[in-house]
Structure 1
Amino acid sequence: MVEVTSLFIFALFLIFLAVFAYLIPVGLWISALAAGVRVGIMTLVGMRFRRVPPSKIVSPLIKADKAGLKITVNQLEAHYLAGGNVDRVVNALIAAERANISLPFERAAAIDLAGRDVLQAVQMSVNPKVIETPVVAAVATDGIEVKVRARVTVRANIDRLVGGAGEETIIARVGEGIVSTVGSSKSHKAVLENPDYISKTVLDKGLDSGTAFEILSIDIADVDVGRNIGASLQTDQADADKRIAQAKAEERRAMAVAREQEMVAQVQEMRAKVVEAEAEVPKAMAEALREGKLGVMDYYNMQNINADTQMRDMIAKSGEAQSDGHEDNKGHK
């Protein structure tokens, strides 16, 4: 019975040690004490209950204290509970301190919670970044296309990192400035001869307003000549005018064909009436003979006149055919 009681007490002692070691990170507390950073044991226990890993707070606190920064445990813990990256914020504050950049803890924490890399922003304030724009196609006044690619040197603006526009806005504004500058040039040759005019004009427009960056310079990396847009537009206009003229000509041709068919129909109708009238002539002559209005000799005289007329027509046609034959023979000779 005594042995069972001893084992039970020993197990309780082991459980107490495990819970004590979990609630109170003695090694971390000793490290902070050795570094000259005072962190109470109850503060570490409170971090455990608030589900804050003590190492995420104590290690950056030691780092900040060694760098000469005045940061409290409550500030770091509050930033961690808000979802921020404590170690990155402390590294950014140390880098800003070394670069003589004014960056309070509250602003660094706000930048980090806004989703921006505050350490990278501090590094960009020290070492500016070069942003290369895609090829921007613009058309000069003479109708020649000019393709421009630029390099924009920017520096992070710490004061405008929260709520400021990003790199995409810088690229879009620079592209818009290039298009307007080239479009206002009288000739593409002026752009090729003086490309720095584009950079100066675009830089004077203050394109970095409302952004998280400060534009230091805009350098034209490449300028190429593209298509002749003016000539292409004129060609397209000429083709359109040609199609319109062809459509109108086809309309006039269709109207002429319709009129011709109408005239042919009218001629055929007149011929039918003539044939019908000629068919009435024999009937009228027979009626005149029966009534005695036309004599037999008169009828024979009229037939002789018709025969004589037909013979003269045949002689005239044969004469014309012979004259045409002689002219053809002369032409062959």
Structure 2
Amino acid sequence: VDLHGSGSNPITMNILSPWYDYIKERIFTIVEENGIEYLKIDFAMVKSAYVMDVEHSGSHDSTAQYKGREEFLYLSYMKLMCFFDELGEAFPELIIDCTFELWGDWHIIDYALIKHADVDWISNFGAAPPQGSRDVRRLSWHHGLVVPSSCMMIGNQQMDAENHEFSFISNLGHTPIMLGDPRNLSVEEKAWYLKYYNWYRKMDEKFEVSKYYQTSDVFPEPKASNWDGFARFNGEKQGGMLCFFRNGSSEETRKFLIPWLISDREYVVKNVDGELVGEFSGAELLQDGFQVSIDSRHKAEVFSIASTIVINKP
């Protein structure tokens, strides 16, 4: 059944029916026979994410298993979580992606999902940059305050779109993913992706940045005419990454406080090429902030920041 179609009454399968035994066997077999390492389950087992009317969402039947919609939903989600547990036990190295379509609602992610699955392809934004890039950051900005951002994947920004750099850096706020045909990329564009992705991996290896996501009261919600940003900063290791975005703002330069630092430490800020941007005391960045210049609208800058020494006090 095409859940992306324009039909007014898309049909979904019932996880409490004998169909479950069939689809479970097929998924386990496909993973085992093909050595699958990442499994994205992108169809409905409980209710359709595209049916907003609760009167037509899920099962309202009364059967020997359940009486009405509420019991159906409770038992269905319990069974779905057990399915994830069994899949993870059988294939411990498998990354299980419970998409919003499988969980049954737009933009949905919660602690029950990430307790039993690994990641959630939480939504799709198909608009070209800069709007699509901004949409991605806005969703991450709202959800990342509560849910670990590394558990979120957000589509569908295209790697070969104009100003794709804006989208890729936006995706560094969660588990980064881009769609598109890499054959359409120029040699220079492929080199750009390789450089930035390798830089992100090094940041994660050194500071475990994928475990962190901060905006505090420093970075506002992304909007069409402002600046925004985020940090992925390890407070224990006192290092990580800072991302800044100039949207449609007329200002070419902004200052941002960096509130996750220690005042008596010294910090080194570098760009993606490893070139020194500046050396600052923690107190300076806490009180006066870090100045960023971006000379064009709808562009981004990303930096590494790391503590080097403890400043000697008199």
- Category of TM-score, reference length = shorter chain: under 0.3
Task: Give TM-score, length-normalised by structure 1.
Answer: 0.22
Structure number with higher helix proportion: 1
Select the structure of larger CA radius of gyration. 1
Structure number with higher strand proportion: 2
Task: Give TM-score, length-normalised by structure 2.
Answer: 0.23
